[in-house]
Amino acid sequence: CLMSALQRTQSCPMDRRPMQAQNVVSNRFAASLIDALEVFCPQRDAGCSWTGRRDRLVTHESKCLALKFEALQTKMTQMEQKDGAMQAHIQALEDTTGKQHRALQQFEALKRKMTHMEENERAVQAKIQAL
């Protein structure tokens, strides 16, 4: 985490004195002490009772059912949101399709009426010419 902090700002996160990543030296003894610390699973509040060495946490997290359950819940929430958006889009398309269908019916009715009027006009003209 020190290296990621130094990427953001070139100062020590503890005392804010100037610090550069190339000057950081790894302390294997300190790292081994930290790795040996007993830690809880981050999903403890979600019901996971695992405790173990810090250096085994990543392995546990790859198998943690509480973590997998949380990931599934997140995915399900995202899918439900997408489904809601898709349903709204489908409804809008259905509304548009319905309007287009009604407009087409009106057009066809006007076309029939116009054809009927043209036929009547030809009939009237034929009667006039017959006179």
Judged against a pLDDT cut of 90, whether residue 113 lies above it is answered with yes
Are 60 and 52 contacting, i.e. CB atoms less than 8 angstroms apart?
yes
Q: Which two tokens stand for residue 72?
A: 């599934």
Judged against a pLDDT cut of 90, whether residue 4 lies above it is answered with no
Q: Which two tokens stand for residue 130?
A: 């017959």
Give the CA angle between residues 26, 31, 34 to the nearest 5°: 150
Give 37-66 pLDDT, tens digit per residue: 999 999 999 999 999 999 999 999 999 999
For residues 18 and 12, give the distance between their C-alpha atoms in angstroms, rounded to a whole number: 6
Residue 27 sits at φ, ψ, to 5 deg, of -110, 100
Are 56 and 29 contacting, i.e. CB atoms less than 8 angstroms apart?
no
